[in-house]
Amino acid sequence: MSNDSNSTRRDFLKKGALAGVAAAGSMTLGFGTKNASARALPTPEKWDAEYDVIIVGSGFAGLAAGITAKENGAEKVVILDKMPVNGGNSIINGGLLAVVNSKLQEKEGIEDSVELYLKDLLDAGQDINHKDLIKTVATEGQDLAEWCSEKGVEWNPTLEHLGGHSVPRTYLTTVSSGSGIVRPLTTHYKDKLGGKLQTNTKLTGIVREGNNGRVVGVRVREGYSFDFDSTDGDRGNTSGTEKYYRAKKGVIMATGGFSQDPFFRGAQDPNLAMPTDELDSTNHAGATAEALEEMLRVGAVPVHLAWIQSGPWASPNESGFGVGSSYQIAAGFRYGIMVDTETGKRFMNELDDRRTRTMAMFDVIGDLEDPNYPITIADSQDGVMAAGTLEKCLERDVVLKFDTLEAVANHFNIPEEALKEQVNEYNRYVKEGEDKQFGKPIDDGMKPIEKAPFYVMEGVPKVHHTMGGVMINTEGLVIETATQKPIEGLYAAGESVGGPHGASRLGSCAIPDCLVFGRICGRNAARDKA
């Protein structure tokens, strides 16, 4: 990269920092900025397009909002996405949806309750969850599996049991990916409901009436072209043409998290400040902070920004979420054990919440320059063989197959006797129904590890989810610091919101959060009498 382009980018960043109210020069004339807290864009002289509801972001939350906005009478609805493809993280994720008191739980004879679910969520969240919000997700999310399947989503016929959940309660799409939800919902929104979805359109500003009144529209760059070679979250990209879109009833921000934003995530945790080509994440390249920053700039309350979660189930032998993560979730952690190859011993409850496991694994891994990756060892019991991505993992050497535990020990230089002792000890616990070593929940489907061949996967945590975001109320309205009240016309849902998950999000609880609050925002925006 030449020096010229570096200094151009720095100059832009400087201007950007001052640009709270700046638009094209002529727009700011005559609009006073006496109110120091007013950082929103002033109303433009002319709107380039007019809509009833504008939704920013085309993942789970954005699509749910688009669907209910249309269903509740909003005529002109548009979902915008800055990327050249729709679906953001939602379309590449694991496709896992937690539902309490579901049909599958009934079928599998699993006793569950909203209270137990909330207890799990609050335990993992270290009790700093915004309880009003997470209760809404738990209670209103009970119909999600059917709401999705009515629109063409296909679910596996058995439940997954994810870390941190007391009982199995997680639905999984037949394709083991969130695309199994995004694509049917997108088709439903566009074809059945006549909704509009526009890619390559990036939000660059939120317009508030009279500077701190109601949100009445957005400023965007149409024809925006994301630079996939950037390693700083694509800050400084000014491609596209500036336009102003009016939103007569409301703007719904479904803009996701910031796992791929070195500056913003590094500000919360300096260990994460490395550029995106040095610190791997499971997220798509567009998971950056600028939309969140814009909401904060117009006055939204920031919540839990420092809580950033890494997924403990990833593989160091592939990029991103890959095929290994699904295997580790479905099989490695559930039916196998994870050991430190230096000692041959377990070091954690393989089904603990993500934060606990991540920290335990980083302890074992040590120096990232010379990492000591722990491994999961599973056998060929039914639960393992049912893992949807096992074959792909074997093809890509993300999971290795061995005929004996001795072979495993040899390959990874594990003290053989210690390993065998550990496996025997664990097997005793499985037979007794209680893990006295680390308290891993043992269920009826789990068998001792003894049937060859054995499957082994190396593990590493990857930056995965940003629990923090803006504050909302149970109607999905964004709350501002200036008045501690909702900003009229501004809604948010999904990962861009802070609060529901507290310190650490439980696996499979993001999708229900996105869908429940997406639905609420869409419905409320459409019904707004504005």
Partner 1 sequence: MEKKELDKAKKSEIARKKIILCIIFVGIIMGGAAGALADVVLKSGVEGTDCRGCHGENKVLPEGHIELSGMTYSNCLECHEDVDVSIREDMLLDHVHMLHGIGCGDCHVDPEDPAEVASETCYECHGDPREVAELTADVDPNPHDSKHYGTDLDCQLCHRQHTPSVDFCAQCHEPVDVP
In this structure, are residues 515 and 522 in contact, taking their beta carbons and an 8 Å threshold? no
Residue 341's Cα: distance from chain center in Å?
Answer: 31
Question: How near is the Cβ of 243 to partner 1 at its closest, in Å?
Answer: 17
Amino acid, single-letter form, for residue 264:
F
Applying CB under 8 A, which of residues 183, 188, 346, 355 lies at the interface with partner 1?
183
Question: How near is the Cβ of 390 to partner 1 at its closest, in Å?
Answer: 15
Token duo for residue 32: 């006073």
Letters for 498-527 (x = contact with partner 1 by CB under 8 A, - = none) are ------------------------------
- The residues, ordered by sequence, that sit 6+ positions from 335 with a Cβ below 8 Å of its Cβ are 378, 379, 381, 383, 384, 445, 446, 447, 449
Applying CB under 8 A, which of residues 179, 198, 237, 437 lies at the interface with partner 1?
179
Question: How near is the Cβ of 319 to partner 1 at its closest, in Å?
Answer: 5
Considering the complex, state which of residue 89 and residue 381 has its C-beta at the smaller distance from partner 1: 89
Considering the complex, state which of residue 93 and residue 211 has its C-beta at the smaller distance from partner 1: 93
Distance CA 441, CA 433 (A): 8
For the CA atoms of 417, 423, 426, 428, what is the dihedral angle to 10 degrees?
-90
In this structure, are residues 248 and 52 in contact, taking their beta carbons and an 8 Å threshold? yes
Question: How near is the Cβ of 82 to partner 1 at its closest, in Å?
Answer: 15
Considering the complex, state which of residue 183 and residue 219 has its C-beta at the smaller distance from partner 1: 183
Total binding residues for partner 1 by CB under 8 A?
21
Element (H, E) at 7: helix 3-18
Q: How many CB atoms lie within 10 A of CB 44?
A: 20
Considering the complex, state which of residue 197 and residue 449 has its C-beta at the smaller distance from partner 1: 197
Amino acid, single-letter form, for residue 126:
Q
The values of phi and psi at residue 303, to 5°, are -135, 130
Question: How near is the Cβ of 336 to partner 1 at its closest, in Å?
Answer: 24
Question: How near is the Cβ of 29 to partner 1 at its closest, in Å?
Answer: 33
- Could you say which residues in the range 303-332 bind partner 1, by CB under 8 A? 318-322
- Terminus-to-terminus CA distance in the chain, angstroms? 49
Considering the complex, state which of residue 217 and residue 322 has its C-beta at the smaller distance from partner 1: 322
From the candidates 39, 169, 208, 354, which is the catalytic residue? 354
Please, what's the largest Cα pairwise distance for the chain?
80
Considering the complex, state which of residue 78 and residue 92 has its C-beta at the smaller distance from partner 1: 92
Letters for 341-380 (x = contact with partner 1 by CB under 8 A, - = none) are ----------------------------------------
Q: Is 177 in the site for partner 1 (CB under 8 A)?
A: yes
In this structure, are residues 47 and 54 in contact, taking their beta carbons and an 8 Å threshold? no
Distance CA 2, CA 199 (A): 31
Applying CB under 8 A, which of residues 151, 297, 396, 420 lies at the interface with partner 1?
396
Amino acid, single-letter form, for residue 86:
N
Which residues pair with residue 314 across a beta bridge?
460
Question: How near is the Cβ of 359 to partner 1 at its closest, in Å?
Answer: 25
Q: Is 19 in the site for partner 1 (CB under 8 A)?
A: no
In the three-class reduction of DSSP (H, G, I as helix; E, B as strand; rest coil), residue 55 is classed as: strand
Considering the complex, state which of residue 231 and residue 473 has its C-beta at the smaller distance from partner 1: 231
Letters for 31-70 (x = contact with partner 1 by CB under 8 A, - = none) are ----------------------------------------
- Could you say which residues in the range 79-108 bind partner 1, by CB under 8 A? 84-85, 87, 91-92
Q: Is 278 in the site for partner 1 (CB under 8 A)?
A: no
Considering the complex, state which of residue 126 and residue 319 has its C-beta at the smaller distance from partner 1: 319
Amino acid, single-letter form, for residue 299:
G
Question: How near is the Cβ of 180 to partner 1 at its closest, in Å?
Answer: 8
Distance CA 484, CA 120 (A): 30
Question: How near is the Cβ of 85 to partner 1 at its closest, in Å?
Answer: 6
Does 354 participate in catalysis according to the annotation?
A: yes
Considering the complex, state which of residue 96 and residue 215 has its C-beta at the smaller distance from partner 1: 96
- The residues, ordered by sequence, that sit 6+ positions from 104 with a Cβ below 8 Å of its Cβ are 145, 155, 157, 158, 159, 171
Question: How near is the Cβ of 375 to partner 1 at its closest, in Å?
Answer: 22
Pairing of strands 454-458, 375-378: antiparallel
Considering the complex, state which of residue 389 and residue 466 has its C-beta at the smaller distance from partner 1: 389
Applying CB under 8 A, which of residues 11, 228, 382, 433 lies at the interface with partner 1?
228
The values of phi and psi at residue 204, to 5°, are -125, -5
Position of tokens 């007391």? Answer: 166
Residue of 86, 58, 465, 85 whose CA lies nearest to 254: 58
In the three-class reduction of DSSP (H, G, I as helix; E, B as strand; rest coil), residue 356 is classed as: helix
Token duo for residue 463: 């930056």
Position of tokens 């700011």? Answer: 28
Distance CA 203, CA 294 (A): 9
Q: Which residues are near partner 1 by CB under 8 A?
A: 84-85, 87, 91-92, 175-177, 179, 183, 228, 284-285, 318-322, 392, 395-396
Just list the catalytic residues: 354
